[in-house]
Structure formats: C-alpha cells, structure tokens
Copies of this chain bind each other. A is one copy, B any other.
Amino acid sequence: MVDALSGFPEWLPEQELVQQRVLDVVREQFELHGFAPIRTRSVERVEDLLSQGETDKEIYGLHRLAAEGADEQGGRGLALHYDLTVPFARYVAEHRGQLAFPFRRYQIQPAWRGERPQLGRYREFLQADADIIGSGKLDVRHDGDLVRLLRGTLDRLPVPKVKLLVNNRKVLEGFYRGLGIEDVTGTLRLVDKLPKIGAPKLTELLGRGGLRQEQVEACLALSRLELHGAGDVERVRALGVKHELLDKGLEELGQLLTASADGAAPGSIVGALHIARGFDYYTGTVVEGVLEDHPELGSVCSGGRYDNLAAMGSGQPLPGVGVSIGITRLLAYCFHLGLLQQKRRSPAHVFVAVHSEPERGLSDAVAARLRARGTACVVSDSSAAYGKQIKAADQLGIPYVWFPAQADKPDLVKDLRSGEQVTALLDEWAPAADAMGLCFTKAEKT
C-alpha cells in the first residue's frame, strides 16, 4: 500500500486535462501580450533566498544522499525556490547583458514551501507568473498593464469569478508614517490579516503592538475602505492623515484604478486598503485575487511592484512589476468545491474499435490516417465484443468510437454522447467542434 504524501498534491488524468487547459489559456494570454517564456533552475543559493527577508518561510534545503562531505556544488548551500519572483530577479541579474529591456517574461513552474499543509496550502505547487523588469526605471503604467493582463487572463479561465483587490504599499506606509507609527512593517503584516482575523482581533493585536488608541482607529478606518474608481481616493484623504509618501501612493493607486478599469467588468477590480501582501519586496502597487463567492479561502493570485528586488548583486536597480496565478491552489479549490468536474480522461477524440486480432491492422491504419489529419485517437487494446469496447471508450470519456470498414460494411462512427451512429469517410470525417474540448459537467462561471 502506498500512501499519498501530505502537502504534495497530484491530479488524476481528468483533472490534469483541466489544468492543462488552464495553463494553455494562461500561456496564450501571456504570449499575446509579448511575454517571453523562461524557466529558471529549481534551486537557488540559500543566501540568495534568505537575502530577500523571507526568513520566516520554510525553505527546503538540498543534500546529496550518496556523497560524504558534499561540497556546495553537490547540493549543500542550495535550496528549492519558494516563489518565481526571486529566481527571476536572480536570472535577470545573471543574464543582464544578454537581455533586452524592458524585459517581459512569463514562467510556469513549481515552487516549494515547507508549510503545514491544508486545503489550498501545499508544499509543492504550480505557479504561473508574468513580470516586466526595466533597466534603471520602469513607468508606473506597467502596473496597470499587468493588472489588466491578470484580469483578462482570469476572465478567460474555466473557473469561478475572481475578484481583484488592489492597493499600494506607499499608501499604507505613508499613512502609518503620517500617524507617527514606527513599526510600519509589523503594522502592514497585521492589517493584511484583517479578512482572516476580523476587526476586534486586529484592534487587540495592533494595541498589543504598541499603537495608541487613535492610531489603531485610524488604521482600522483605512483598512475598511473599498475604492471603486480613481475618484474614491479622496475617501482616503478624508481620513485627514498627511504624508508625502501617502500622496505619492494615492496618485499611483488612482492611476492604477483608472488604467486597470479599461475593459474590466464593474466591481471586478476594487481598491482594498487592507491588502499589503506578505512579501517584503513589494514597494508600490500590490494586488491579490479571491474567488468572489469564497473569499474566505484566501488569494488565488497576487502580485505587485518591486523596485529594489532585482538589484540583487548587480549594483544598478532593476525595478519590476509582476503577477502570479496560484494554479495548484485555484484548481484545488475548484475540485474541492465540485466545480470543473469533467469526463475526459484521455486527449483522444476517437476510440478505434478492433473487430478481431487478425484484423487489428485495419484499426491501426484507420488511426494512422486520423492522426495524419490531426485527430487524436487510440486503438482498442481488446478485440472483445463491440459492447465491451464501447464501454472502455466511455470509461475514458472519449466521445467517438470508430468501427473500421469490413467486407460487407462501410466505416461507421458512433457518437457516445448522442448515441447516434453514422457512416463516415475516413479522409473527410472530423469530430464536431463541441467534442474537441473538455466536457465540463459543472463549471459555475457566472
């Protein structure tokens, strides 16, 4: 008996076909916007991972099993990356002379974190990231481009509606500084937890953190604001806090709300002043997305502006902005909630039946000709009664069964969805458009 490993999810073929569809849409959107694919190695030097202030993430280090006194190259000093942003920044710093800036890249790879596993929180998970990194400077309009790209990509996925929440770290930091709060990072991190812990608990924690009553109240007032357009930034100003960084942040946030609204459904991108994101490297725009009907499950995508991250070892600043879709988490939620069930367990559209073992060659020939015309198919493993073969096709969720011509009969094709059986010409027949994709039985896309 083999047990599953907690925190390392694996999908069944019918689920992986859904994941593949999701990844295809993501890739198509990223490429339509000119993002080039890259893959970074799975390992980074431990000091590069720790230098980003992520000492509180559980990192998996490597060691060689077989080696005595293994050197650094042998694994010691290396660890699996916990996201795709830090490796990307290192990649840019390392290959800087060979890249054209601004550099747009996308990257679809797993990442690893030694966290306590729970629904949506895994030790190995697939991420799909798109980032732009500039050389020296990167206009803030790219923040809007990335949020729009994220919005447009999510809208095309076969998943439930995702609501995007945007904010700007400068707004939070400027607001806190304007209030005279010294521990800005600590306050950011607490406020970011508002949806999980609720206002009373947040009040208690902020107070315990040393904030005065009026500071706590101002923080809570800010964190509760939702902005539905650039004009709404005045609601932040109305709280009466003044700081240069706050003004800068509100200008950027207003610009982002205007830019990202272009083409987006009303209410699908909302300013949410409690959003801070966990990573220390964000310096401006931050964004996260939650399932509209299940916000309690937490974020399924995220991103933001990082102006200092990519400077890593390279001297000159390489400011960037990026977004990341948590593919594994998003799919885990959909599967868990009973969405995205589908019947297809094979990419084949046609199951070619075999009349008898001596006639298997006829079936192989049919399959070869269908494939030559781009139709995916499998030949039956068995030459049992046709009823049994039809059952095998149905088990795989394959929509068509092909019965090769025999002396007294033409080629026949049975559509297992309708039960209809028709005569077919091998060089003309093609599957119906609606049989080509997956067969979702329930995809609550509203």
Contact = CB atoms under 8 A, between A and B. Distances in A.
Given A37-B13, A38-B13, A345-B100, A62 B61 contact: yes
Contacts of A110: 42
Interface string A301-320: 00000000000111000000
Given A34-B347, A312-B2, A61 B60 contact: no
Contact of A16 (B38, B56, B371): B38
Contacts of A70: 114
Nearest to A7: B73
A347 to B, nearest CB: 4
Interface stretch (A88-96, A216-224, A270-278, A291-299): A88-96
A313 to B, nearest CB: 5
A414 interface: no
Contacts of A48: 2
A104 to B, nearest CB: 7
- The 8 A-B residue pairs with the shortest CB-CB distance, nearest first, are A34-B378, A34-B348, A8-B41, A13-B36, A31-B347, A2-B94, A59-B65, A64-B114
Interface of A: 1-13, 16-17, 19-20, 31-43, 45-46, 48, 55-67, 70, 73-75, 78-80, 90-91, 93-95, 98-100, 102, 104-105, 110, 112, 114, 124, 126, 134, 139, 263, 312-314, 345-348, 368, 371, 374-378, 381, 392, 395-396
Given A32-B374, A37-B347, A60-B63, 4 more contacts: A2-B94, A11-B38, A36-B345, A58-B65
